[in-house]
Amino acid sequence: MWKWIAVMICIITYTQCVKFGEDNSYTCHCINDEQCDKESGECSGGCAAGWSGPTCQKQNVALRKPSSQVETNGARTSDLAVDGDNTTNIPNKCTDTGGDENTRKWWRVDLLEEYPIKYIIIYYRNEPLTSLKGFSLHIIKQNEEPELCYKDDSPDVPPAVNNIECNQTITGRYVNISNFHTREDGRFLVLCEVEIYNCHNGIYGTGCLKLCSDRNCLVETSPCNHINGSCQGGCKEEFSGIDCVKRQYSNLQYSNDQSLIIIGTILGLLIGLVAGALMVVFIMKRRSRSRSNQSQIVSTDQSSSNIPQPETTTNQPVTQLFSNISNNQDNPYGQLTTAYQNENAYELLGKAEGNVSTK
């Protein structure tokens, strides 16, 4: 039940159900009039016919608008170039002006109102693309002379899908494509689809991705050019650029920033010097300590070589050794000391007695 109530409320307040952005300032253009994301404006199911771009804010203003051409070859009328079908490999889905070489070939669409125009896409038949070499594209205001948007001067054959950018933004109501190129079988003009893109109100820039509300115009009610977002009357303080989104700094701020950069550089150099000096001191101390240790080792070796070695009594006569032991009979510890100092005493004594023991 609540779902139906929400649907009824949405129908009653339709314009609020297809809005997004801050204060619902922008309109959704989703397929089947679905609601877009309230913040980003993205359509989960895709864009409605004639709309494109990530947020469906780029409009093909030529779609299903009145069109005409100099003459028609069979049933391939001028409206086939603005019917929304950009198929390029089926001849009957494209316009054809015929091949009379004595007639200047042209095709025109009436946008019904004036638009600032800069970006146009032309879909040609896959063959013969040579018929488009040297074509011109003009934009015309009501009752005024045509203004050249683009002239094909390339010696190469144009691509089947030709993305055209006018030399400058031109405001006009009519878009005219003409060709004076002559082929062996005559002069003709074949177009499968012509798309002329314009950003919706409140959107501007290439691809229609920038919001006019993000500008910082001095006059808050300044119109927003859908190509470059230019502000009438200039920018607010501290902002610059055509669309007043680039923040600029005052001379004082710039001076302060420069001072901070200089101070930071000096401090960085000083820290580097101090760190380098400490490293040198550390290395020198370590080397000095290593040399001192080496000197101590050498002096220790020399001292060891100078210590007098105890005289060995191994080669003393057995009778003398026996006599020494006998002289210490009254002192048991002396006997033991004499025995340890003469580790071969018992063996020598045993040999003298004729009773050898090697245990």
Q: Where are the domains of the chain?
A: 12-57, 67-199, 202-265, 318-353
Cα(163)–Cα(183) distance, integer angstroms: 24
Nearest to 55 by CA among 16, 11, 86, 25: 25
pLDDT at 101 over 80: no
pLDDT at 129 over 90: no
Nearest to 190 by CA among 236, 103, 123, 264: 123
Q: Stretch 6-23: mean pLDDT, rounded?
A: 56
Q: Which residue has the higher pLDDT, 195 or 253?
A: 195
pLDDT at 64 over 90: yes
Mean pLDDT of the chain: 76
pLDDT at 309 over 60: no
Reported confidence tier of residue 6, pLDDT bands at 50, 70, 90: very low
What is the percent of the chain where pLDDT is above 90? 21
Q: Is 355 helix (H, G, I), strand (E, B) or coil?
A: coil
Reported confidence tier of residue 216, pLDDT bands at 50, 70, 90: confident
Reported confidence tier of residue 139, pLDDT bands at 50, 70, 90: very high
Provide the pLDDT for residue 338.
Answer: 52
Q: How far is CA 151 from CA 13, 116, 136, 324, 331, in A?
A: 48, 19, 5, 131, 131
pLDDT at 210 over 50: yes
Reported confidence tier of residue 252, pLDDT bands at 50, 70, 90: very low
What is the per-residue burial (b if ≥16 Cβ within 10 Å, else e) of 137-156? bbbbeeeeebbebbebeeee
Which range is most confident: 118-122, 207-211, 332-336? 118-122
Q: Is the peptide bond before 54 cis (omega within 30 degrees of 0)?
A: no
Cα(194)–Cα(308) distance, integer angstroms: 114
For the ranges 52-56, 230-234, 340-344, the lowest mean pLDDT is seen at: 340-344
Q: Stretch 246-275: mean pLDDT, rounded?
A: 76
| pTM, two decimal places | 0.60
pLDDT at 298 over 60: no
What class has domain 67-199? mainly beta
